Amino acid sequence: MPSGTNSPAARLAALLNRNRLVELLGRFPRLTIALVGDLFLDRYLEIDATLDEPSVETGLTAYQVTAVRNSPGALGTVMNNLAALGVGRLIPVTVIGDDGEAYDLLAQLRRLPIDTRGIVQDSARQTPTYTKPMRRDDAGAWRELNRLDLRTRSPISSQTEESLLARLDEAFGAADGLIVLDQIAVEGEGVITPRVREHLAALSRATPGKLMFIDSRRHIGRFTFGVLKPNRAECQRAAEETGLDKADVVAAARWLARRTGRAVYLTRGEEGILLVEPDGSTTDLPAIPVSGPIDIVGAGDSTTAGIVAGLLSGATHAEAGMIGNLVASITIQQIGATGTATPQQVLGRWDEASK
């Protein structure tokens, strides 16, 4: 790796030195983090291609599932990563069903340092589930086939929404900071309804010193508060909705930061993160180079975990962004799973990348 001052190793050391990283990671166990948003069950079906057999009824190939793996997804992916990083307590606020998928999801959540009192179960709702068939290719690598999505495609009831808001207030008051994950694209069908978004805005105004970190797949431009983390496409969509030039992603990120009065973390895949401050200044936070096969599923959620844990531990905006990049560089190398990273792995990756 080049040894110049502009090399990736030099940039990493300048933005986040090792002693500082050790100090910040050591504070993670003292954190309590609340989370609100869409919680899914990720269900992986491992298919053994050598056992394929034809269906007598249809003549189509019947895939043979030899193992089933369940894991919390969406908001659960963020929680998996926070727990792996050693965060002491997590308080999710969400709505799931009262069905078999909920049973499997809650069984997985109980393995994490989670207070489940913020989870509303509504028998009229289907627990959101991503079913992911996984099949090995001829080279032995896992490949994900077409995903099967299951969720309720209608708004939550007003009664459930009331219960959700009450639990949100309680969790926000008990936590050091809050992560908002707006996963479901259709407005009103997920946990972050227009009313919940308005309530979050009121909480942010009432407690401006408490971190509220927001990730929204389709509606980032509708959040006028909090620290936002859009990717390029989400930033472009926000620009287009407000009449800005969607081709100028940096200008759109500057507009978001100016409007919220908070930093914006614009994620750019292999180019890393562009940190945009409310005054319009920017800092390039380079991605950590990796080699070999990668799986980017869940990379954004692992980045969120690293950034938020860093910010709540006293990191600067840039330091927190680099922690997010370090975490993501580890999780994308875990094929066929939404990966996690431990503090030891994060330090190990810093050591590798700084050479």
Could you report the per-residue pLDDT of 26-49, keeping only the tens digit for each? 999 999 999 999 999 999 999 998
Q: Which of 1-10, 134-143, 269-278, 286-295 has the highest mean pLDDT?
A: 269-278
Mean pLDDT, residues 300-308: 96
Residue 40 CA to residue 94 CA, distance in Å, equals: 10
Give the pLDDT band of residue 2 (cuts 50, 70, 90).
Answer: very low
- As its CATH architecture, domain 8-38+82-118+155-353 has 3-Layer(aba) Sandwich (3.40)
Query: What does residue 117 show for φ and ψ, rounded to 5 degrees?
Result: -65, -20
Residue 187 CA to residue 193 CA, distance in Å, equals: 7
Query: What does residue 163 show for φ and ψ, rounded to 5 degrees?
Result: -65, -40
DSSP string, 150-209: E---SPPPHHHHHHHHHHHHHHHHHSSEEEEEE---STTTSSS-HHHHHHHHHHHHH-TT
The domain limits of the chain are 8-38+82-118+155-353
Amino acid 177: pLDDT: 98
Using CA atoms, how far residue 221 sits from 21, 38, 289, 326, in Å, is: 32, 18, 31, 27
Q: Say which residues have a Cβ less than 8 Å from residue 245's Cβ, sequence separation at least 6.
A: 239, 251, 252
Q: Say which residues have a Cβ less than 8 Å from residue 262's Cβ, sequence separation at least 6.
A: 225, 226, 227, 228, 278
Query: What does residue 32 show for φ and ψ, rounded to 5 degrees?
Result: -120, 120
Q: Which of 148, 180, 179 is nearest to 42 (CA)?
A: 148
Amino acid 1: pLDDT: 38
Q: Residue 352 burial (CB < 10 Å; 0-12/13-18/19+)? A: middle
Using CA atoms, how far residue 71 sits from 29, 77, 115, 175, 287, in Å, is: 22, 8, 17, 24, 27
Residue 273 pLDDT greater than 70, yes or no:
yes
For residues 36 and 180, the answer to whether their CB atoms sit within 8 Å is: yes
Residue 74, token pair as written in the block? 């969406």
Residue 49, token pair as written in the block? 């291609």
DSSP E strands in 243-307: the ranges are 264-267, 273-276, 282-285
Mean pLDDT lowest among 96-105, 200-209, 286-295: 286-295
Query: What does residue 299 show for φ and ψ, rounded to 5 degrees?
Result: -60, -40
To which H or E segment does residue 69 belong? Answer: strand 65-74
pTM: 0.93
Using CA atoms, how far residue 324 sits from 66, 105, 248, 332, in Å, is: 35, 26, 24, 12
Residue 96, token pair as written in the block? 């799931």
DSSP string, 11-60: HHHHHS-HHHHHHHHTTGGG-EEEEEE-EEEEEEEEE-GGG-EE-TTT-S
Q: Which of 248, 216, 211, 246 is nearest to 229 (CA)?
A: 216
| Residues written for the chain | 355
Give the pLDDT band of residue 138 (cuts 50, 70, 90).
Answer: confident
